[in-house]
Structure formats: C-alpha cells, structure tokens
Amino acid sequence: MATATAIDRLRDPSEKTLGVMLLAPAFLLLALIVVYPIGKLIWNSFFDLRLSGGSGIKFVGLENYALVFKDPDFWNAAKNTVLITLITVPGALVVGMGLAMLANLPFKRKWPVRLALLLPWALPLAFAGLIFAWFFHTEYGVVNDIVRRAVSPAEPAMWLLRPNWAFAAICLTIIWKTSSFMALILLAGLQMIPKSLYEAAEVDGASKWQQFWQITIPMLMPSIIVALIFRTITALQTFDIPYTMTKGGPGNSTETLAMLIHKTTIDYLDVGYGSTLAVCMFVLSLCVTAFYLKRIGKNA
Amino acid sequence: MKSIFDSKSLRLIAAGLVVVNGFFPAVWILLTSLKTEAELVSKPITYWPHAPTLGNYIQAFTDQPLLKYLGNSLAVALSATVFSLLVSALAAYAIARLNLKRRQLILTCIVASSMFPLVTLLVPIFETMRAFGLLNSYTALVLPYIVLNLPVCTLVLVSFFQSIPKDLENAAMIDGCTRMGALVRVVVPLAAPGVFTAGILAFVNSWDEFLLALSLNSNPNFRTLPVGITLYQGEFTFPWPIISAALIVAIVPIAVLIAIFQERVVGGLTQGGLKG
C-alpha cells in the first residue's frame, strides 16, 4: 500500500508540485533572457567595457552616465524617439479608428476587408521600411508622381534626403504599418457594442456625431487604452523602419535610441557605454508604462 | 438605423478605401518587380509594366542566397513556434487549471515581460550568446523568440483552457485517468484550435523579427529573410526591381498563411490584446 501511494504520487503529483513543474520552463527562460540581462545591463553600465580594443575592463563608476548626459547624440536620439512616439501613436489611433469604422460596415463578403487589415500587420517592419523608401524616392517614387499629377508639377520633394522630410516619411510609414493592428483591436471592440444603444439614442434624437462621442468612444475606451499601451511601448523601440529607410540619416536626423544603442554595441562593440544608453532608455520606457498604468488605475 | 452607408455604392467605396490602404504597397511592389531597369528609370513613371519580365526574380535568387535566407527564416520561425507553444501551453495550463495561490500574479509576471524593450536587452543577450559561442546559430534567435512569444501565446492559451469545462477532465479522472492522462487525452485535443491560433501568432512574430536577427546572426549561413533583403542595396545603388522581386518571394508565404487562417488570426490577436 505504501509503495502504491509513492507511485501514485509520482504519476499524479500534488497541485503545487505540478504547478512548479509546468511553470518552470517559462520562468527559466524569462530568467535567462529578461531578468539576468537586466542585472547584467546595470552592472555593465559601471564599466569601461570595449570588446574591440585590448584595454580590458575598468570600473568607472558613474562616468558613463555623466557622458550620456553630455552626449549630443543621445539627446538627439532621445528627442527623435519621443517625437516619433508622440506623432505616430495618436496618428495610428486616428487612422486605425477610421479603418475600424469603415471595416465595421455590414459587408456581404467580409474577407477582403479583413485581409486588407491583416496584411500590413503581418508584413515585417523592415519590409514596410524598404517598400516605403521606394514610394518616397525623389525621382521615381509613386508618392511624388501622385503629387505631381494631382497637385502641382513643381520641384519634387526630396523626401529621404532632407532631415524634416525624411522624418515625416518615416512617421507616415510607421502610421501606415501600425494602424491596421490598431484597427483590428478597435474593430473587435466596436463589434461588442450592443446595437440597442444606438437605437435608443436614435429615438432620443441624437445625431450621428453625438452618438460617436457619447456611445462609441466611451464603450471603446478599454480597447483604445490597450491598443495605446501596446503601440506606445513598441513606438519607443522604433528601429526597423528608420534603419531600412534612412539608416538614421541624413546625418543623424532620424536616428532613434534603439539605433544608437545598436550602433554603439554591435558596430562599435562599446558594451559599457551601450549598456548605459540602454539603462537610460529602459528608465524612459518604465516611466511611460508607469504613467499608463496609473491612468488605467484611475479609470477603473 | 439610417446611415449614409446604407447605399450599396457608398459601402463599396468604404470597402475600397480599406482594401487599397492594405493592398496597395504589396501590389506596387509586385508591379515594380515585373519592370525592367530601363522602364523603371523612364519618366514619367509607368504604373503598369510595359514589357513584364521575370528576370528580376532570377536575379533575386542569384545576387543573394535568397533560398538560404528563406530556409533559415523557416527553420528559426518553425522551431521558435514549436517551443513557444510547448512552454506557454504548460504555463497556461498551470495558470488556468491548477489550484495555485497567486495565479494572477504569475500571469502578470509573464505578460509584463513583454513590456521590457527588447532593444535594451540586446547588449546583454549579445554578450551572453557571444560567451556561449552561440552567435551565428539558430539557437541564438530561437531562445529569445520563445520569450518574445510567451506573453501573447500564454494569454491566448489561458483563455482557451478556461473555456474547456473542467467537468470533462474530472469525468476522465473518475474513469481512471491520472491528471496527466486527462491532460493529454482530453484537454490537449479540445484546446487544439487555441494552440493553432497561438502558433500562427508566434510564427508571424518570429518571421518578422529584425533587430536580434541583424545583431546576433551576421554570418550569411544563418541570416534570416528580413535581414538578407536589406543587403541587395549597395552603398549608392538600389536595384529596386530586384529588391521588389525578393520582397514578393518573402511576402507570399506569410500572406498565404494569414489568408487561409484569417479568422483565427483576428480572434487570437484581439483575444491576446483585449485581455492584456
């Protein structure tokens, strides 16, 4: 009888043992790829650690941080990253909202619209960057061709060759790429709003405009907040699209924090300074996440 | 409810707007890939290719080892998907079914890991992989991709497991199944649609990843598709027809996948998103 229970226990472990067993792989991986790197990152930031030279590792305390604050490249990249976030997140929300409203109309065949929203989402960011770099080509790009035909045949805009134009082109590309995901999330939210609410508003004589602001927007709020959080976190990490469209140029006018960290670490192999930059970026995104979570706490 | 969109033609215009917005870039790249270099640099630019050619596709495969990149992407994305599903299915089952204290906290921990900007972890991940001699290997990408997919896969699977009535499992256990037996014989088959949905999301995520692939695997033998395609351009030359052809080759597999499984993908995305 005693041996039977031992075998039973092996074959049918207690809830707690089973729980630990099942959760172990996930948490081991999180430890290896997230927790340990965070610790290592902070540790590295206190050292002069260059993999290229033979100078070895030297403890420098907070010197790297002092350098960051005096580094014009850091401030330039931080400014670009924050600007891209402030422009493309609301931009994608507005465009995504429009797409979701259009896609929510009662179509007989739903698949073309659905696929049209899924395709930009599934397209790698790097591909979107390449494709739009071709769109914005000064001489042979389709954007300038449409402008020339429709608006004026004046001098074509040198999109990717002028700092502000390149920045605008990158923002437009990011908005196109990300608004579809926004639309999919919002569309799911729209479909959950009971039709009876609109019917009641209709009876009370509310206009379409009033219905949008008084019913649609408040009912969609949970979906909007989720979509905004996801989008903001990814916008702060912007890398692929500027990398493939301009490589940060002209000059470093479109370089983001992610690109600066990548360049410092992978191209220059300056791990110490790269880690310090990463810690700064980490703190920035933590502040943004905390801000959002606080707002959600207030709303709920 | 009367609306300006009650008219059929206006509804068609609405659908047209959404469809053009979604498909135009891919269509334009397809048209570009069929043009000759000479036609491409003629002004004013042409929309429809005058003398369609498949030569760019042949060049796309000969200028760069495109087939090798395709194979690498497929190998990395498939193994990342399989392992992501395995790891997150185990975790999701524990969260959804076991009588654990703090299950909400466990789920929050897993989801919160997606809030960490991957690029800041790039440096230590690069160092770790370098130390283990894993730079330029499939493993270097598969390990981080599992973590990348973990939050969304776990969320989708938790809600699927929760939708399977616990009585089914209990009945199996009364009939003499062990808990593990019930898991394998009852829960896994019923959760198959959820596993499939999570799998597609994991596959697309892994297929699209660029920064880690660019940084960890610079050897052409292990380069993935998104990174490989950026290499057709020289310092000052952009062979657009060839790049376009390569892009079409790279887009088709993923486009076919989402076209076939679009309902599941939308379901999974909104489920993963709305519960997060």
Interface ipTM: 0.84
Which residues of chain B lie closer than 8 angstroms to A188, CB-CB?
Answer: 266, 270, 273-274
Q: Using the 8-state DSSP alphabet, how is residue A161 labeled?
A: G
CA A190/CA A198 separation, integer angstroms:
12
- pLDDT tens per residue, range B258-268: 888 888 888 77
In a domain, B103, yes or no: yes
Give tens-digit pLDDT for B148-158. Answer: 888 888 888 88
The per-residue pLDDT string of chain A (300 residues; one tens digit each, 9 = 90 and over) reads 455 555 555 555 677 788 888 888 988 988 888 888 888 888 888 887 777 766 677 777 787 888 888 889 999 999 999 999 999 999 999 999 999 988 888 877 788 888 888 899 888 898 899 889 888 887 777 777 777 777 776 777 778 888 888 899 999 999 999 998 888 888 888 888 888 888 888 888 888 888 888 888 888 888 888 788 888 888 988 898 999 888 887 888 899 999 999 988 888 888 888 889 999 988 888 888 788 777 766 655
Which one of B91, B99, B226 has the shortest CB-CB distance to A15? Answer: B99
| Residue B36 covered by a domain | no
Q: Which residues of B touch A13 (CB under 8 A)?
A: 179
State how far the Cα of B120 lies from the Cα of A274, in Å rounded to an integer.
9
CATH of the domain at B197: 1.10.3720.10
Does the beta-carbon distance from A34 to B150 stay under 8 Å?
Answer: no
Tokens representing A282 are 């980490």
Phi, psi of A251 (to 5 degrees): 65, -125
Which residue on chain A is closest to B21 by alpha carbon? A116
Identify whether B7 is part of a domain. Answer: no
Q: Which helix (H) or strand (E) element contains residue A15? A: helix A15-30
Cβ atoms within 10 A of the Cβ of A299, count?
Answer: 9
Helix/strand/coil (H/E/C) assignment for every residue in chain B: CCCHHHCHHHHHHHHHHHHHHHHHHHHHHHHHHCCCHHHHCCCCCCCCCCCCCCHHHHHHHHHCCHHHHHHHHHHHHHHHHHHHHHHHHHHHHHHHHCCCCCHHHHHHHHHHHHHCCHHHHHHHHHHHHHHCCCCCCHHHHHHHHHHHHHHHHHHHHHHHHHHCCHHHHHHHHHCCCCHHHHHHHHHHHHHHHHHHHHHHHHHHHHHHCCHHHHHHCCCHHHCCHHHHHCCCCCCCCCCHHHHHHHHHHHHHHHHHHHHHCHHHHHHHHHHHHHHC
B-chain residues within 8 Å CB-CB of A57? none
pLDDT at residue number A297: 63
In terms of C-beta density within 10 A (0-12 exposed, 13-18 middle, 19 or more buried), how is residue A183 classed? buried
Rounded Cα distance between A53 and A219, Å, is 58
Are A122 and B255 in contact, with CB atoms under 8 Å apart? yes
What domains appear along chain A, each with residue ranges and CATH number?
88-253 (1.10.3720.10)
Q: What pLDDT shows up at residue A177? A: 92
Q: What is the CA radius of gyration of chain A?
A: 25
Q: pTM for this one?
A: 0.86
Contacts of A196 in chain B (CB under 8 A): none
Whether residue B266 lies inside any domain: the answer is yes
B28/A25 Cβ within 8 A: no
Q: Say how many CB pairs under 8 Å bridge A and B.
A: 282
In a domain, B6, yes or no: no
Helix (H, G, I), strand (E, B) or coil at A60: coil
Other beta carbons within 10 Å of A196:
8
Using the beta-carbon criterion (under 8 Å), do B109 and A30 form an inter-chain contact? yes
Write down the pLDDT at residue A87: 93
Read out DSSP for A181-200? Answer: HHHHHHHHHHHTS-HHHHHH
Q: Which two tokens stand for residue A17?
A: 């043992």
Q: CA-CA distance, B123 to A266, in Å (whole number)?
A: 8
Nearest alpha-carbon partner for B77 in B12, B150, B138, B164: B138
Distance CA B55, CA B66 (A): 15
Q: Do the Cβ atoms of B15 and A105 come within 8 Å?
A: yes
Low-confidence ranges of chain B (pLDDT < 70): 1-6, 235-236, 271-276
d(C-alpha B272, C-alpha B53), whole Å: 43
Look at residue B274 in the predicted model and tell me its pLDDT: 47
Task: Tell me if B210 sits within 8 A of B227, measured CB to CB.
Answer: yes
* Alpha carbon of A205: minimum distance to chain B alpha carbons (Å): 12
DSSP three-state, residue A175? helix
- CB neighbours (10 Å) of residue B138? 16
User: Do B22 and A279 count as a contact with CB atoms less than 8 A apart?
Assistant: no
| Residue A86 amino acid letter | L
Mark yes or no for CB contact B247/A12 under 8 Å.
Answer: no
The count of residues in chain A is: 300
Residue B236 domain-assigned (yes or no): yes
Do B22 and A120 make contact, defined as CB atoms within 8 angstroms? yes
Burial label for B121, CB within 10 Å (0-12, 13-18, 19+), is buried
Q: What is the pLDDT of residue B22?
A: 86
B98 touches chain A (CB under 8 A): yes
Q: Calculate how close chain A gets to B259, using CA atoms only, in Å.
A: 6
Residue B5 lies in a domain: no
Cα B72 from Cα B213, distance rounded (Å): 11
Per the structure, the complete domain to which residue B110 belongs is given by: 63-275
- Residues from chain A contacting residue B144 (CB–CB below 8 Å): 33
A247: alpha, beta or left? (left if phi > 0; alpha if psi -120 to 50): left
**Structure confidence at residue B4 (pLDDT):** 58
Residues of chain B neighbouring A140 (CB-CB closer than 8 A): 40-41, 43, 45, 240
How many separate domains does chain B show?
Answer: 1
Cα–Cα distance between B180 and A18 in angstroms, integer? Answer: 10
CB contact under 8 A, A261 and B43: no
Q: Helix, strand, or coil here: A59?
A: strand
Closest to B79 in 3D by CA, of B148, B139, B153: B139
Cβ-defined contact of A130 to B258 (cutoff 8 Å): no
Domain presence at residue B13:
no
